[in-house]
Amino acid sequence: MSFTDKEKLRSIIQEKGLITGNSNTFELASGDKSNFFFDMKIVSMDPEGSELMANAILDTIQQQDYEYIGGLESGSIPIASVVANKSLGTKKPIPAFFVRKTSKERGTNKVIEGNLTGNSRVIVVEDVTTKGESVLVAVKALRELGCKVDRVITIVDRLSGASELLAGEGIELVSIFTKDDFSDCI
């Protein structure tokens, strides 16, 4: 990803997805409270934002041999989908999947939806990481299928322990941005 494209994506996140408030205004998935919130669904469903996210992720994984891309509902769904779509023009298209927080109580009762076979090498994506507990839900479900998960790519890492938690599970956290990239606004 070029410096210009990365700066464009940072600008879109700052303009559309970064919300600031008073101290402890926002409750995060981790249970923590914060005075800033990254609403990445707005960015990942924006035409330019999603295109730039896909480019950043494809650049990051281009030398790797991943068979599938996905993550935990719902933040990873638009990201994995746009990466899968954009990968169609590459040497090796990469189909997408997502992991439900709980199994669907009708139909197939699946926890994992989309394109995925067991014993595959997968890359997990996340919109925002805080402590890393949410992404571990997806990793554990994937590993139960025998899938190999050794990297998670997050668009924004809040630098609140996710890297360390994932490292303890043998997983490298790759961040496109960290909260420090937005320190002038938070």
Domain locations along the chain: 3-182
Least confident among 21-30, 121-130, 144-153: 21-30
pLDDT of 95 over the 80 cut: yes
Q: What is the mean pLDDT of residues 60-65?
A: 87
pLDDT at res. 108: 63
pLDDT (0 to 100) of residue 56: 95
Given a cut of 80, whether residue 102 has pLDDT beyond it is: no
Task: Give the pLDDT score at 185.
Answer: 84
- Is the distance from CB of 50 to CB of 78 less than 8 angstroms? yes
Average pLDDT over residues 147-160: 96
Residue scoring higher pLDDT (10 or 29) = 10
Q: What mean pLDDT, rounded, does the chain reach? A: 91
Q: What confidence score (pLDDT) does residue 151 get?
A: 96
Residue 107, C-beta contacts closer than 8 angstroms, at least 6 positions apart? none
CB 128 within 8 A of CB 158: yes
pLDDT at 118: 87
In angstroms, rounded to a whole number, what is the distance separating the alpha carbons of residues 158 and 156?
Answer: 6
CA atoms within 13 A on the CB side of 71: 27
Give residues with Cβ within 8 angstroms of 140, minimum separation 6: none
Pick the CATH number of 3-182 from 3.90.1150.10, 3.40.50.2020, 3.30.930.10, 3.40.50.1980: 3.40.50.2020
Give which of 8, 23, 28, 29 is closest to 137, Cα–Cα: 29
Sign of torsion, CA 185 176 48 1?
A: positive
C-alpha 46: how far from chain center: 16
How confident is the model at residue 106, as a pLDDT? 65
